Structure 1
Amino acid sequence: MTDDQYDYIKQYNHAAQIENTLRLSRYFLLSILIICLYIFCIYQIYFNTVNFYFNFWFIFTELFASFCWLISTAYFKPHQFDLKIAHRWLQFQCFSIGALISAGIFIIYYYLPSINPNFADIQALTLSALLLIVTQTFGLTYLTQKLNYFCLAFLPSIVPYLVSQFLFLDKSSHLFSLAINFALIVILLCATTSYRIHRRISTLYAKNSLLVKEAEQQVAWTDDLCKQLKNEINHSKDIELQLQLNNQLLEQKVKERTFDIEQMNKNLEDQQQNLQLAHEIAGLKPWDWNIKDRTISLSNNHKGTSQRDSKEHHYQLLHTVHPDDAEQFKNAMKQHLRGQNDRYESTYRVQNSLTGKWSWVHDIGRIIAWDPDSNKPLRMVGIRRDIQQERTSQERLKLAASVLKQAAEGIFILDEELRYLDVNPCYEQLTGFRHEQMIGKHLFDIAANYKSQQRSAHAEILKQVLQHQQYDGELQEKFLSGKELTLWLHINAVLDDQNRVAHYIGIVSDLTERKLQEQRLSYLENYDILTDLPNRFYYNYQLHQYLISQQDSLKQLAVIRLNIDRFRPLNEYLSNNGGDELLRQVAQRLRLTNAEALFLAHLNGDDFAIVYEISHIRPSVMEHCERIAKAFTLPFNILGQDHVITLSMGIALYPEHGRQLDYLNNCAEQALSEAKHLGGNTIRLYSNENTALLEQGIFLERELRKAIQSNELVVYYQPKINFRDKNIYGFEALVRWNHPEKGIIPPGLFIPLAEQTSLISDIGRIVIQQTAKQIKKWNQMGFNNICVSVNVVAQQLRRGQLLIDLDEAIKANEISGDSLELEITESSLIENSETVKKLLQEIKSRHINISLDDFGTGYSSLSYLADFPIDVLKIDRSFISKIGQNKHEAIVCAMVAMGKAMGLTVVAEGIETEQQLQYLRNLDCDIAQGYLFSKPLPEAEATVYLKQNIRPATYTYLI
């Protein structure tokens, strides 16, 4: 063996030992995990004693062995690692495992018997020996590829036993020591022997590898010999060339003899090419079926001739033929093969393998050879022709004929001299002439040309068609058949390949019915069907035209808006038919009394409008309106009954009150609204002051809506004081508008407007929600008996949302109903009293107190106190402020006495002086409220006031 071979074997052995040890060390680590778990379980089962060091050794050993297993598996993948790093890693791993085994033996053998009396020395010796023997056995199995790996794991693990023989001579058994020493020596000898065996096997593998390389070198030498042999062959070919030159003379003679045959073949080839060209032009593809040999030859114009097995061709053909045509194709072929038909002929669809589209083909064939003995067919030839273009053209022609016949518009075809070649049934129906009556005639020979206007129209059409080769326009035509129609005529020229006119195509649409419909729609769009007067749309359009196009001729005009007073109850009384009849008669009377007016319109319902020109030669607008009012003093007879109606009229003047359509209409509507508010049957002229007030209200309403969306509304709280112990009874929640620019806006400026819209309900909902949140905060601070009152208006009672708002606020803030009190005014109880009573009963069922607010200022009735579930009687500030006057003191005294007699809690609001406070205390009033104690406070200040004035004594509700 050479030195190179020896070095190669040495390196190979080193690499193989590391790779094999890395692979087998995973099993060694798994065995360590298993034996440690096994010993831990035995100790825990038989000696159920928890020990920190033993548990820590077990957990750390398991984790460290798992970590080593993961590193060996994930990082050191086969043939993807550095041998030096792997060698260092295996040394570290083996030594660490040996140290952990040594620590385990020390803990089991020395430490556990000392702390656990139940764990005897012999048991400790057994478990430690088990740990040592098993681990060394697995090490002997998996770590002997390289002896130093085994020693690094073996030597640390036997240290406890070796140390015990010298340190604990009195406790150790000499026989056991001799036995264990002998066993360890045997294990070490076995490891040495196993290592030598592994090294010898690895050496054999290395030598085999060298032999393989030598064999490969031998193969390379063989290739070189082959190349030399090829050169010899080439030399032999050169000799063959010499022989070929000698044979050329012989070949020349053969060529001369075959010249005539080649000429004949050339003629045949020319004829074959001509035939192929004819097939290609005609789209024919010949095929030849050798039935006996079961082969078929197919001709392709581009690829030549291909031959395939007939079964394969038949199978492929059946998969390309359309399923609807397959049965017909089979039957045609069978009939010819059985002699039932002289030739095979079939038309079917085949699928293109590339595009997947279907195309029609025509297949024709005939048997040309028969077996003389069995009379069976031997050979069959045929051609297949692609007829897809022909089928498409035929279908297009059929479709065009069908479209021409079924079209809902008249269609005709003219020749280059504008004479009829063909017409469709619709054109026959339009003209009143049959097909044969029109063919050959000129375009307008069927029309009546006795009027000059019609002749002129025909001449213009012919001129445009001849010059521009098209015409498109509307025509009023009368035919000789007697039909007179409004038509839309469209004519286009059809050019040939030389760009000459070959034909003309015309399309005729009947516009007669459309014109009538347009007239009907125009009437319906601009006039009211009921009164036959212009409607709102036409009124606005016409007034706009007066304003923009006739300003020079119209210096002044008036827009008068009229409305029938109390039309709704009268309409309900008369029913729909009677109401419609009344509107018709009112419209007729307005026509008669407004002959001088520019325009009269019925806008909608009982609203009418008049546009009147103001001029010195005409009566004034007020005189005109008074004349209308006088005319309406006469009764209207509706359904046999006489009814006298009155009108409310509002007037806006142009240009004094505005120059734009919308502004004039708005001014007239405002004047009409003012007349309605005055009780009707009156005439009002628009005033600019009304516009200022209206704009202010609209602006305030818009700002208030924005404030609700932007959470600008806040709640202030005014304290209520108990007369008896001067403790705080509760608060009244009062809404304020915290405007971002104007600051705090008092409720007197926006609550009246909110009560006219649905905004008051939204404001009430916000107050209830914020009040409930504040009550929750006070409850969390320890003030659990505070009662806060919230004002509720009639609209909230009627809209049906109040109970939902209360339930949501109570549930969301987890407060009691006893913490809330609703203040309701007397006016809220007037309308729909039964419904209100049921609603108040529902509120009472939620333990919410109900207070009658502003008592004495509205429609005071003692029945409210008796019929409705009222808990609190609140005397209005207007009475409290006049204490000192005998009559008013008597009223206050009576109110307090009445409330006490009915068992109600009496609240006096608006207290501002000590005199008022003392007088009410003498009357035994229950609750005091007013600026004498505090003004309404924001949330933070109300909380400070509550903390400063609350008394530690426990207080309860008065109700």
Structure 2
Amino acid sequence: MRLSELGDLYSTLLEAAVDGIITIDEAGIITGFNSAAERLFGYRRDEVIGQNVKCLMPEYVARHHDGYLQNYLQGCPARIIGVGREVEGRHKDGSTFPLHLSVGEALHEGHRNFIGICHDLTSYNAVLRQLGEAEERYRDIVESQKQLICRLDSKLRITFANASFSQVVGVQHDALMGIPLTSIADDAEHQLPYLLAQMFRSSDDLGEVNIKVTMKARDSGALVDWSFKRVESGNSEPPELQGFGIDISQQEAAVEQALYLRSHDPVTGFLNKQAYSDALAAWIQPGRRYALLHIDCSQFERITQQYGFESGDLIMAEAARRLRLGLDRANLCGRVTSDDFVVMAPVIDQDEAQSLANQVVLTLEAAYTIHGEQVRLDTTCGIALYPHDTRALDTLLLMASSAAKDARDHGLAYSYFNPEYHEDLRRQMDIEQGLKEAIDTRAIDVHLQPKFDLATGRIHGYEALVRWTHPRQGAISPALFVPIAERSALGQKLDRYVLTRVAELIAESIRQGKPEPVIAVNITAKHFSDTALSDFIRDLLQTYQIPARSLQLEITEGIVMEMRRTTTAIMDDLRQMGIEVSIDDFGTGYSSLSYLQHLMVDELKIDKIFIDDLESERGATLVRAVIAIAKAHDLRVTAEGIETGEQARILAAMKCDLGQGYFFARPAPSDEVLGLNH
């Protein structure tokens, strides 16, 4: 082949090369630059031929290149000639990029020439970086998993374990490597090695194998729910088992705690109401006698209000501790309400039951210390005897509860079950339930009794009175169901029901063009102490668009005698709204006269018991004195229960302002009294 042809061949090969090929002379001047080099560096061949090769290098390399080249030419060993290495190249736009550079040396006509082969590493490095990042992410994910992750070889030795695994078993990561998993598993039945070994022996894919195993931990065992799967390596290496485990110790403990709390009181550890009822049947032995004690610890609510619920719990826990210490272990104890315990105890006779009740009361009434102060529980005990009173255990519980209430009502330390009292209590509970339904269904009627001006004989206003016919017991007196409502926390609900009905009556009377009525509503003690009462009345006035002067409130003398700051604030608020307040049944408490000068009330109502004795000299003197005191405080006076004309005449002569009673008019349905059309 001729020399010219050989040159053409070399040029063709250089141009066809995928990698950039650059040639330089001894001075570092570029003498050759193939097409791949043009694409790599962004220069045209004619732009770099004759330029120093430094133009293709980053500044921090370029400034030393000439020195390196001269040193080499003077005989110093080369660090790059004949060796491939990763360096940085500089693109025409000034950016740098990674490349693999191999430099060779050739002599031509006595001159040294250097050939550099440049391979772009940008994509390669990006792939490596991505692989590294992926591996790092995978490692982070595995290490950050709360799951326990491990790999096992065919001898069940650990070849990999993540941080959670190490943390749960309390063994450093390096110390885990190579030890059998079975050595740190508390597997008394040896299920774990059998199942895992089976996964290696079987030629079939067994899928996942799940097993719960307690792992030996540094302080205690940790229950782990494991899932193992055989993993084929895909090459000549043997398969391994991949294990994923979840520490379910807390879950199991929570389940156990939840099951415990379903049947036990968390404060005392006693059985709760439902569990106690269920346990009685299994606990009682045939042919034996028992006393069921229902222990009522009153004052508990007051203590929690004063010292807080946490202190209340401490007292109940201490009371339970005393019961455990003071009673035989054979007794069955329970806590059935916040302040009530029950104890079922085997007894020989009624005397032993009485002795046990006395012991319980004395034990629980001893002082308790809270925040350095001593407090006491007022304890009463109800006793029901099995099988003397009944063999039905649910009924026995009700009987003991009834007996405890009987003891409380009569101020006794203990009381046996009384069928008559129990029947009366059952009737009251029936009334309470019926009353709740009646309020919800608007089945309680509002009657009105007029109040007359004793000087003119004209109607001055009305008092709202409730009437109710029970679906089973018939008409029930307000004197019976109103106190039941107050005791059962229905008092507020009943008050608001009546207030709403009265607001409706006033609004309807105004709408029909009737005279604007003034109607008084009795308010229970607890409701009047509720700061929300003022807001409720304010909303009523707004909703029904009625004037405040048309609505009056009556409170008993007992409320006045127990006056609190909240009550005084409520009275001030009502007065600012324009709502008048009257003291009902005045005189029955005898101790409230001194309160008159401090109260924001508008009216006194003299109780019927004084009006009944009005025609006697002593009775007349007393009523006259009450009227004089009221007038001295600029209060209006209304006499209740006027039944004769003579009583009305005497009261008018005494300058009593208003009167109401059967002499004037009996209470009647509100529509009838107001003459409303529906």
Q: TM-score range by the shorter chain?
A: 0.5 to 0.7
Within 2, Cα distance between the matches of 1:817 and 1:431? 75
Q: Which residue of structure 2 aligns with residue 504 of structure 1?
A: 241
1:825 has 2:559 as partner: no
Give, in angstroms, the shift of residue 494 of structure 1.
Answer: 1.8
1:473 is aligned to 211
- The residue identity in structure 1 corresponding to 2:343 is I
Partners of 2:264 and 2:275 within 8 A in 1:
no
Aligned residue pairs, count: 610
Whole-angstrom distance in 1 between the partners of 2:113 and 2:189: 81
Question: 2:457 matched to 1:731?
Answer: no
1:495 aligned residue: 232
Check whether the contact 2:166–2:173 (CA below 8 A) recurs between aligned residues: no
> Any conservation in 1 of the 2:294–2:342 contact (CA below 8 Å)?
yes
Q: Equivalent of 1:682, from 414, 436, 446?
A: 414
Mapped contact 1:332–1:344 kept (Cα < 8 A): no
Q: Within 5 A, what are the aligned runs for 1:145-224?
A: none
Structure-2 residue corresponding to 1:562: 295
CA distance in 1, matches of 2:64, 2:99: 13
TM-superposed CA distance for 1:909, in Å, is 3.9
Where 1:534 maps in the other structure, the secondary structure is: coil
2:93 equivalent in structure 1: none
Q: Does 1:593 align with 2:327?
A: yes
Task: For 2:612 and 2:285, locate their aligned partners in 1 and report how far apart those are by CA, in whole Å.
Answer: 65
- The one-character-per-residue Cα deviations of 1:34-86 (angstroms, maximum 9, x if unpaired) are xxxxxxxxxxxxxxxxxxxxxxxxxxxxxxxxxxxxxxxxxxxxxxxxxxxxx
Larger mean Cα displacement after TM superposition, 575-584 or 809-818: 575-584
Q: Structure 2 unaligned runs (5+)?
A: 1-8, 23-29, 45-55, 70-79, 90-96
Distance 2:127 2:551 in 1: 90
Contact in 1 for aligned 2:500/2:540 (Cα 8 Å): yes
CA distance in 2, matches of 1:526, 1:658: 23
In the other structure, the counterpart of 2:352 is: 623
The TM-score, its normalising length taken from structure 1, stands at 0.47
Deviations 1:569-613 (A, max 9, x none): 89999999999699648735643532332x33567876443244x
- Counterpart-to-counterpart distance in 1, 2:621 and 2:169: 99
Q: TM-score, normalised by structure 2?
A: 0.63
The alpha-carbon deviation at position 365 of structure 1 amounts to 7.4
Contact 1:717 1:939 in 2 (8 A): yes
Structure 2 counterpart of 1:696, one-letter code: D
The answer to whether the Cα contact below 8 Å between 2:555 and 2:581 also exists between their aligned partners in 1 is yes
What is aligned with 1:535? 270
CA distance in 1, matches of 2:461, 2:627: 21
Mapping for residues 867-882 of structure 1, pairs under 5 Å: 868=599, 872-878=603-609, 880=611
How many angstroms apart in 2 are the aligned matches of 1:516 and 1:785? 68
The answer on whether the counterparts of 1:736 and 1:745 sit within 8 Å (CA) in structure 2 is no
Paired with 2:415 and 2:559, the residues of 1 have a C-alpha distance of 35
- Residue 502 of structure 1: CA displacement? 2.0
Deviations 1:305-364 (A, max 9, x none): xx999689xxxxxxxxxxxxxxx997899999999988896799xxxxxxxxxxxx9865
* Greater radius of gyration (CA): 1
Q: Given that residues 199 and 230 in structure 2 are in contact (C-alpha distance below 8 angstroms), is that contact kept between their aligned partners in structure 1?
A: no
Q: Contact conserved, 1:873 with 1:905, CA < 8 A, in 2?
A: yes
Q: In 1, distance between residues paired with 2:219 and 2:590?
A: 80
> How many Å separate the matches in 1 of 2:566 and 2:161?
78
For the structure 1 residues 335 and 838, does the alpha-carbon distance in structure 2 shift closer, same or farther, using more than 3 Å as the test? closer
User: Aligned partners of 1:911, 1:781: CA distance in 2, in Å?
Assistant: 32
CA, structure 1 residues 292+540, in 2 after alignment: closer, same or farther (shift >3 Å)?
farther
Question: Is the 2:168–2:222 contact (alpha carbons within 8 Å) kept by the matching residues of 1?
Answer: no
**Aligned-pair CA distance for 1:682:** 0.8
Q: 1:853 aligns with which of 577, 581, 584?
A: 584
**Aligned sequence identity (%):** 20
Deviations 1:765-802 (A, max 9, x none): 55556656766776788887965444344344422455
Match in the other structure for 2:431: 697
Aligned partners of 1:493 and 1:502 also within 8 Å: yes
1:650 aligned residue (376, 382, 385):
382
TM-aligned CA deviation for residue 681 of structure 1 = 1.8
Cα distance in 2 for residues equivalent to 1:770 and 1:526: 45
Aligned to 2:76: none
For the pair 1:899 / 2:630, whether they are aligned, the reply is no
Task: Report the Cα offset of residue 880 of structure 1.
Answer: 4.9
Distance 1:603 1:837 in 2: 37
Residues 603, 397 of structure 1: alpha-carbon distance in 2 compared, 3 angstrom cutoff:
same
Alpha-carbon RMSD across the aligned residues, in angstroms, is 6.6
Matches within 5 A, 1:880-895: 880=611, 887=616, 891-892=619-620, 894-895=622-623
CA distance in 1: counterparts of 2:527 and 2:175, whole angstroms: 83
Within 5 A, what are the aligned runs for 1:91-490?
387=124, 392-397=130-135, 413-416=151-154, 418=156, 430=169, 439=178, 458=193, 462-463=197-198, 466-467=201-202, 472-475=210-213, 488=224
3-state DSSP class of the match of 1:799? coil
CA distance in 2, matches of 1:945, 1:524: 58
d(CA) in 2 for partners of 1:706, 1:722: 36
Gaps of at least 5 residues in structure 1 are: 1-267, 280-284, 300-306, 313-327, 349-360, 947-959
Shift of 1:527: 7.7
When residues 329 and 753 of structure 1 are mapped into structure 2, their CA distance, relative to the original with a 3 A threshold, is farther
Q: 1:392 to 1:416 in 2, by over 3 A?
A: farther
User: Which digits, 9 at most, give the CA deviation of each residue in 1:599-637, with x for residues without a partner?
Assistant: 33567876443244x5xxx62476245235247658969
- Cα 1:748–1:292 shift into 2, 3 Å: farther
8 Å contact kept, 1:409–1:509: yes
The higher-RCO structure (CA 8 Å, 6+ apart) is: 2
In structure 2, how many angstroms separate the alpha carbons of the residues matched to 1:504 and 1:609? 57
Q: Does 1:791 align with 2:522?
A: yes
- Match of 2:407, as an amino acid? A
1:685 maps to amino acid: F
Contact 1:464 1:470 in 2 (8 A): no
1:413–1:422 contact (8 Å) kept in structure 2 = yes
Question: Is the contact made by 2:531 and 2:566 (CA closer than 8 Å) also made in structure 1?
Answer: no
Residue 414 of structure 1, CA deviation? 4.1
Tell me how far apart the structure 2 counterparts of residues 801 and 558 of structure 1 sit (CA, whole Å): 45
**Equivalent residue, structure 2, for 1:927:** 658
Shift of 1:473: 3.4
Distance change in 2, residues 1:720/1:385 (3 Å) = closer
Q: Relative to structure 1, is the Cα distance of residues 403 and 795 closer, same or farther in structure 2, using a 3 angstrom cutoff?
A: closer
The letter for the 2-side match of 1:732 is: Y
Residue of structure 1 in register with 2:51 after alignment: none
1:876–1:908 contact (8 Å) kept in structure 2: yes
How far residue 853 of structure 1 moved from its aligned partner, in angstroms, is: 3.2
Q: Is contact 2:452-2:660 (8 Å) kept? A: yes
Taking the aligned partners of 2:235 and 2:622, their CA distance within structure 1 comes to 117
Most deviating of 732-741 and 669-678: 732-741
CA distance in 2: counterparts of 1:397 and 1:905, whole angstroms: 92
Alpha-carbon distance in structure 2 between the residues aligned to 1:568 and 1:898: 38
Letter of the aligned partner of 1:623 in structure 2?
A: E
1:672 correspondence with 2:401: no
Report if the CA contact (8 A) 1:906-1:927 is conserved. Answer: yes
Partner residue in 2 for 1:171: none
- Contact (CA 8 Å) 1:600, 1:609: kept in 2 or not? yes
Distance 1:797 1:427, change over 3 A: closer
What amino acid maps onto 2:461 in structure 1? F
Offset of residue 428 of structure 1: 11
Q: Is the 8 A contact 1:365 1:383 kept in 2?
A: no
Instruction: Kindly indicate whether the alpha-carbon contact (under 8 Å) linking 2:228 and 2:242 is maintained by their aligned counterparts in 1.
Output: yes
Bigger strand share: 2
Decide which moves more: 464-473 or 506-515.
506-515
